[in-house]
Amino acid sequence: MKPATLKQIAEHLNISIPTVSKALKDYPDVSKKTKGLVKELAKTLNYKPNTFAVNLRTKESKTIGLIIPVIVHHFFSSVIKGIVAQAEKKGYLVIILQSNESYELEKKQIDLLLSQRVDGILISLANGTGDYKHLEDVISQNKPIVMFDKIAKIVKCTKVIINDRQAAYCATQHLINTGCKRIAHFRGALLPQNSIDRFLGYKKALLDNNLPYDPSLVYICECGDMSFEEGKKNARQLLKDHTHVDGIFINTDLVAIGAMTEFNNQGVKIPEDISIVGFSNWFMSSVISPTLTTINQPGYLMGKTAFKQLYKEIKKTKKKELINHKEIILKTELVKRESTKKEIL
């Protein structure tokens, strides 16, 4: 059935169009009887509000854009759930785009979202993003933008993050506390801020405990996608390069699981021969054997928080109020499992 219009409902009930509109919105100056008749007929005639007309009138699209590096990543899927759950409560549609860790694609997606007149943008930067003009363009158009997880410190906008440096320090310190003396690090690409901060946290933990920092023990996931295969490849290379490594802090759980698989294939026992700490706390981390010690990264809460901040800034922008940009840091925790020994320190 073709949806009815306000005019058709008004003609059926012999009342004015404004009265029908008010009845559907529960205005107090319309009687309960009229409201009941209008709502019942609207349901019968399959009436749907013309959201396009409403958006034109309110100058809101009720749509936000979300750009993430990869959708299949457990962490980002949790972030999406948090964002969508909050957006639905506020009547917002979320346009989800995947940059595939590409700076060029990310730029095009920003342009696409602006052309769709979204009310605001949420973004976690691609590994390849080193220039931020496309983000400055968003801000210059007075369009709210909130970054999360992978951010650019120099861009003036609200950011929702964790303390990656502190979390990495905690992960490395746990390895040290279990007796590890020669600890490697499988890090992400060179550019993302969170990858840099996790490396710096790892390095500081070594130096604070009077353990030498050896750059040959740092392996970069060159493809930038932090994949299972990258973990296997780096584990193979580590075994060729070094014979006395007894611990590894790995940037992401999926890479850690790949490394554990390779070690198992080559007869390296975990944690007897080598202890491993991951990052993110994927579901798989709790079901593999041995289970993976990891840093719990609150993806759902990050998504929820990011949308709430964006929503506040959208409302302030509409009212032409000053926006005070924030840096919101969410807490992480170390989840101790079977891939590391018990602490002895």
The span from the CA of 183 to the CA of 214, in Å, is 9
Q: What percent of the chain has pLDDT over 90?
A: 72
| Residue 52 predicted with pLDDT over 60 | no
Max Cα–Cα distance, the chain, nearest Å: 88
Region for 43 from its dihedrals, namely left if φ exceeds 0, alpha if ψ lies in -120 to 50, beta otherwise: alpha
Name the percent of the chain lying above pLDDT 70.
94
Domains observed in the chain: 6-49 (no CATH), 59-162+299-331 (3.40.50.2300), 164-297 (3.40.50.2300)
How much is the pLDDT for 38? 85
pLDDT given for residue 23 in this prediction = 84
Write the pLDDT tens digit of every residue in 232-264: 999 999 999 998 999 999 999 999 999 999 999
Question: What is the distance between the alpha carbons of residues 284 and 6, in angstroms, rounded to a whole number?
Answer: 52
In this predicted structure, the answer to whether residue 188 has a pLDDT above a threshold of 90 is no
Could you tell me which of 168, 178, 182, 171 has the C-alpha nearest to residue 241? Answer: 182
DSSP 235: H
Residues forming a β-bridge with 183: 247
Q: What's the pTM value of the predicted model, to 2 decimals?
A: 0.83
Q: Which residue has the tokens 């999406």?
A: 80
Specify the amino acid at residue 145: I
Residue 335 pLDDT exceeds 60: yes
Residue of 226, 233, 228 whose CA lies nearest to 251: 226
Measured CA to CA, the distance from residue 328 to residue 163 in angstroms comes to 10
**Section 311-323 average pLDDT:** 93
The pLDDT value given to residue 11? 86
**pLDDT at 95 exceeding the cut of 90:** yes
Give one DSSP letter per residue of 271-312, joined into a string.
Answer: TTT-EEEEEE--GGGGTSSSPPEEEE--HHHHHHHHHHHHHH
Write the pLDDT tens digit of every residue in 1-42: 566 788 888 888 889 888 888 888 888 888 988 888 888 888
Name the burial class of residue 60, with classes exposed (0-12), middle (13-18) and buried (19+) by CB atoms within 10 angstroms of its CB.
middle
